[in-house]
Amino acid sequence: MANPSQLGFQDAASPLMEEMIHFHDHALMIVFLISTLVLYIIVVAVSTSLTDLYILDSQGIEIVWTILPAIILILIALPSLRILYLTDEINDPHLTVKTIGHQWYWSYEYTDYEDLTFDSYMVPTQDLTPGQFRLLETDHRMVVPMESPVRILVTAEDVLHSWAVPALGVKMDAVPGRLNQTAFFTTRPGTYYGQCSEICGANHSFMPIMVEAVPLQHFENWSSAMLEDA
């Protein structure tokens, strides 16, 4: 969960999100160094005689400010491409969940089970109990086993939606008539919140996402109870 006045990311709950946070810090440090260097050059150029025509027309300086940005771009691009390809890696998932966006709620279908399907609606403010979060609580949460690769198939029934859970590093568009897929791996138990990240209509802000990661035994007990109710 995000905290009041928080400036950084939520705590990572998956290895992929940890990689994204590390890359963010890496790129931010490069931006900080570039900004510091440019500010220093501007101050020195304004306050000294560096504005001499000979210095400004220096071939050496032109070579440096052409090659240096290229090196910086490589230092940013390589880890960026690595993470980009990691987000597409789906190796032997232990569980597949189909997520369907509607106006304005989510449906979940556990494709490894025949009858394990349910809709997930936001809990109205007047029905919240102490400790629950406004606009983030759902009547049915998506339960997954922790430390297991989970594949998510994302689509929509009506308009564009986007299934996004920041702590898991997952954001996938739900497009009508198209089946997109992504995957995540939770490293610790907990409840992780997300929201539709595509402006999908009047109640766009009222279709939250709750993902609960539990030990495998707890997941088996939950799935058995859900199947009995079905």
Query: Which CATH code is given to the segment(s) 15-87?
Result: 1.10.287.90
Q: For 190-209, how does the pLDDT look when each residue is reduced to its tens digit (9 = 90+)?
A: 999 999 999 999 999 999 99
Residue-by-residue DSSP string for 126-148: GG--TTPPTTT-BSSPEEEETTS
Q: What is the pLDDT of residue 49?
A: 62
Confidence at residue 146, expressed as pLDDT on a 0 to 100 scale:
93
**pLDDT value of position 210:** 96
Domain 95-229 CATH (choose: 2.60.40.420, 3.50.50.60, 3.40.50.360, 3.40.50.170): 2.60.40.420
Contact between 173 and 162 under an 8 Å Cβ cutoff? The reply is yes
Residue type, 209: I
Amino acid 219: pLDDT: 94
**pLDDT value, residue 178:** 94
Domain with CATH 1.10.287.90 in the chain: 15-87
Cα 54 from Cα 68, distance rounded (Å): 21
Q: What is the pLDDT of residue 65?
A: 81
Looking at residue 48, what is its pLDDT?
66
Within the chain, which residue ranges are assigned CATH 2.60.40.420? Answer: 95-229
Mean pLDDT by 10 residues, the chain (230 residues): 77 92 93 92 73 62 85 92 88 92 95 91 93 92 94 95 94 94 93 94 93 95 88
